[in-house]
Structure 1
Amino acid sequence: MTLVLAYAGTDGALVAGDRRTLVARMDEEKMRKVEEKLYSGEIRTEEELESFLKDLDVEDGYFEFHDDRKKVWKVNDEVVAGEVGVRSAKGVRRRRVYATPGAHAIVELEGEKVLSKNFGGPALIVEGPKVVKELVIEFVNSELGGKPDLESLRNALDDLFEYVSSGTILVSSEYDAYEVKGKADPLARARLQKAIDEDIERLREHRRRLAEEMLKHIREGYDILKEGVVGEVVEVGTEEEGKGVEDVPPERRIVVRLAEDVDARHMGDVVAGPGEEIVMAVEGNPEEVEPGDRVVVKDGVMKIDGKDLPVITGYSICRTRR
C-alpha cells in the first residue's frame, strides 16, 4: 500500500508519499490471492475488493485500510527521503529513496542492515506497486509533459494523488510532502552519503530503544506481584493523584507505603521503590479502611487485607529485582 515519489532535480528536491496502510488477517493463501489482484490492478475499487473477498469466502478474517502512516520525511536542510516495503523471498525489506538537488540514492535495508546502496543523478523516482507506477507515469506524461521541474511538480501534487487514488484503492488521496531548495553541485553525492549515514544511525538508535522498551515490558510482566503484601495504608482520603485513580473521588483515594520487596512501575519504569508511597484507590466504603491496614494480592486480586475491599491502581505492582 504505497506511493512514494522522489524528485531530484537541478533546481531542488522533493519527496511525497501517501498515507495508506493495509491491516489484514486471513488465511495466507487467500491473502496472497488478494494481494495479487490488488498489485496487478485487477482490483481497483472498494466494491471490487468486497466482491472478491465475498467470492473467496473470507468470513473469519478482516481487511482494513488506514490512512495514518507517514512514509516521507526531511533528513536535514539538504536531503529529503521516503520509504516503502519491498517483498522478497526472505520476507519484507525496506527500500529508502533519498533526494537532494542534483542527485538521488536508493538504499535497501533488512532490519538496520544495509543490503545495497545505489546512487544516481537528477531523476524522478516512483516507488510502489506496478499499477501505482503506471498511474503516476500516465499523469506525469499527460499533465506535466513527462519532465516536470520542482515548481510544476509541487503545484500538481494534489491532482496527482487524486488521480492515482481514483485509479487504485492502494493509495490514499491524502499525502505528506517535503522539499529542499538549492542547485546541483559536485558535492551532491557526498551530501547524500552523509545524510544516509545519519539516517541509518537514527534508525539503529530507534530500534535499540524499542528493544529496551520491549525488554522492560517483558520484565514487568514477569515481575508482577501475583500473591503477597503490597504495602501499608498510611493515609485515607487525599487530594494527591496517582496513575489510574485521577477520576476517583479524593475520599476513596489511599496513600500506600510499599513493602520492602515491592515497587510500582509504569511503562516498564520504576516510579516508586520499596518503602516509598503511591496513591491508590479503594472500591467500596472508604470508612472501612484505616491507616495501618495492609494492601495485599490474594488469588490475583488486590484488596484491603481482611476487609475484602478491592484496591485499584494504574501502576504495575511488582516484586523488586535484587
Structure 2
Amino acid sequence: MSLIIAYIGKKGCVMASDKRKIGYFGDKENLAKLEKELYDGKISNDEDFEKRASELGISIKITDDASKLKVVGNTVRGEVSTKGTFETKRRRIYGTTNGYQLVELVGSETTSRKAGEKGIIIFGNNFAKKMAETLISRKWKSSQSLRYMGDIFEEVLTEVASKTPTVGDKFDVLLQEPKFTTSEAQKHLNITIDNDIKVLTKFRQELTEQIVQQSIAIDMANKIISKGEIGQVAEVDGNMVQVQLNDKTQAMDGNWKQLAAPGGNVLMFSDSDNVEVGDKVVIENENLCLKKDKSTLKCDIILCSL
C-alpha cells in the first residue's frame, strides 16, 4: 500500500513517497478478493474502497501518517513493509550520489542485496507502479535539478493517489547531494546499510525483551495473592517481623524478580505489640494482617502464588 519513487544519479538522490497505511481485519478469502480489485485498479477512491470493504465484511483502517523515508548518513532510505503472522518483511532502497542498493529483509535478516549506480526506482503495486512510470516518462527532464525532480515526483504521486486508494494524498520528499564517485558511493552505502541493519537488529532485540517482560508481568500480576494464608511469624524484634512463607507463596520485587521462595523468610513491619512467633499471617480483603486480631502488617514486596 505504498508508492516510493527514487532518482539516483551524478547529482545526488531524491526520493518521494506517500504516507498511506491500511490495516485490515476479516475473512482471508474476501480480503484476497478486495486486494485483487485494488491492485487491478477497479477501485478508484477511498469512498468506493470503504464501501466495497463493507460489502465483503472487511474492516479497514486508513491513515496517512506513516513515514516511509528517512535520511541515514548521506543516503536516503525508502522502505515498504508487510507484516506477517510471525515476521515483518521489509524492502528498502538506499540512495546517494552515484549509487544505490536494494535490500530485502525478513525480520532483521538480509535475504537479498543488490547494487546499482543510477536510475529511477519505483516501489509499489503493479497498478500504481505502471501509472507512475507512464507519468514520469511524460514529465521527465534529466537536465533539471534534484528539487525540480522532487516536484515532478510529487505531481506523479498526486495523480496516482487520485486513481487508487492504495496511495494517499500526503507525501514526503527527501534528497541528499554528497560528492561521491561510483566506488565511493558503494563503500559509503555498505557502511551505512550495515550500521542501519545493526540498529534494526538491536531494536528488534529490545522489543522482544520488552514483550517478554510484559508477558512475565502479566503472568505474575495474575498470581498476586489477594486472599488467604501466606505464612507464619518466625521471629519478632520490636516492630520488625520475620515471616516464613508457606509452600504456596513466593515474594517478588517490583521487577518481578524472586526475593524469597516458598519456605523462605521475608521482613515485615507491625505497629502491634501483640505479635508472637507462630502467629498466622493472612491477606483478607487485600489487607496483609495477622489472622488472630487483624492487626496490619507492612512490607515492600509482592506476594504471589506459584
Q: TM-score, normalised by structure 2?
A: 0.72
Which residue in the other structure is 1:29 paired with?
Answer: 29
Report 1:119-158 matches (<5 A): 119-145=115-141, 149-158=145-154
Could you tell me whether the CA contact under 8 Å between 1:19 and 1:69 is conserved in 2? yes
2:251 matches 1:261: yes
Cα deviation, residue 215, structure 1: 1.0
Alignment of structure 1 residues 98-177 onto 2, 5 Å: 98-145=94-141, 149-177=145-173
The residue matched to 1:34 in structure 2 has which SS? helix
Q: Partner residue of 1:217?
A: 214
Distance in 2 (CA, whole Å) between partners of 1:320 and 1:5 is 56
Pairs within 5 Å for 1:224-235: 224=221, 225-228=223-226
User: 1:140, 1:146 within 8 Å by CA — same for their partners in 2?
Assistant: no
CA–CA distance in structure 1, aligned partners of residues 303 and 172 of structure 2: 46
Q: Is 2:65 aligned against 1:75?
A: no
CA distance in 2: counterparts of 1:149 and 1:22, whole angstroms: 33
* Aligned match for 1:199, one of 192, 196, 201: 196
Code of the residue aligned with 2:52 in structure 1: it is F
Instruction: Give the whole-Å Cα distance in 1 for the aligned partners of 2:126 and 2:198.
Output: 31
Match of 1:97 in 2: 93
Equivalence for 1:283: none
Letter in structure 1 aligned against 2:127 = V
- 1:147 Cα deviation from its structure 2 partner: 7.6
**Distance verdict in 2 for CA 1:54–1:178, change over 3 Å:** closer
Question: 1:21·1:66 contact (CA, 8 Å) conserved in 2?
Answer: yes
Distance 1:54 1:174, change over 3 A: closer
Contact 1:105 1:119 in 2 (8 A): yes
**How far apart are the structure 1 equivalents of 2:143 and 2:287?**
71
Larger Rg: 2
Q: Which amino acid aligns with 2:214?
A: H
CA positional deviation for 1:71: 1.1
Greater shift in the superposed pair: 208-217 or 127-136: 127-136
Q: In 2, distance between residues paired with 1:32 and 1:297?
A: 55
Give the equivalent residue in structure 1 for 2:15. Answer: 15
Contact 1:227 1:297 in 2 (8 A): no
* 2:176 is equivalent to residue 180 of structure 1: yes
Structure 1: stretches of 5+ with no match in the other structure:
230-259, 277-290, 307-316
TM-score computed with the length of structure 1 as normaliser: 0.69
**Shift in alpha-carbon separation, 1:67–1:75, aligned structure 2, 3 A:** same
For these two proteins, the number of residue pairs brought into alignment is 258
2:187 aligns with 190
The offset of 1:160, in angstroms, is: 2.9
Question: C-alpha separation between the residues in 1 aligned to 2:114 and 2:107?
Answer: 18
Q: What percentage of residue pairs aligned between the two structures are identical? A: 25
State whether residues 11 and 184 of structure 1, in contact with CA within 8 Å, keep that contact through their aligned partners in structure 2.
Answer: no
1:135 partner letter? M
Task: Calculate the aligned-residue CA RMSD, in Å.
Answer: 3.7
What are the ranges of 5 or more consecutive residues in structure 2 without an aligned counterpart? Answer: 228-249, 258-265, 273-280, 291-300
**Whole-angstrom CA distance in 1 between matches of 2:282 and 2:18:** 52
Query: Which has the larger displacement, 166-175 or 179-188?
Result: 179-188
Q: CA–CA distance in 1 between the matches of 2:87 and 2:40?
A: 19
Q: Residues of 1 paired with 2:87 and 2:210: CA distance?
A: 25
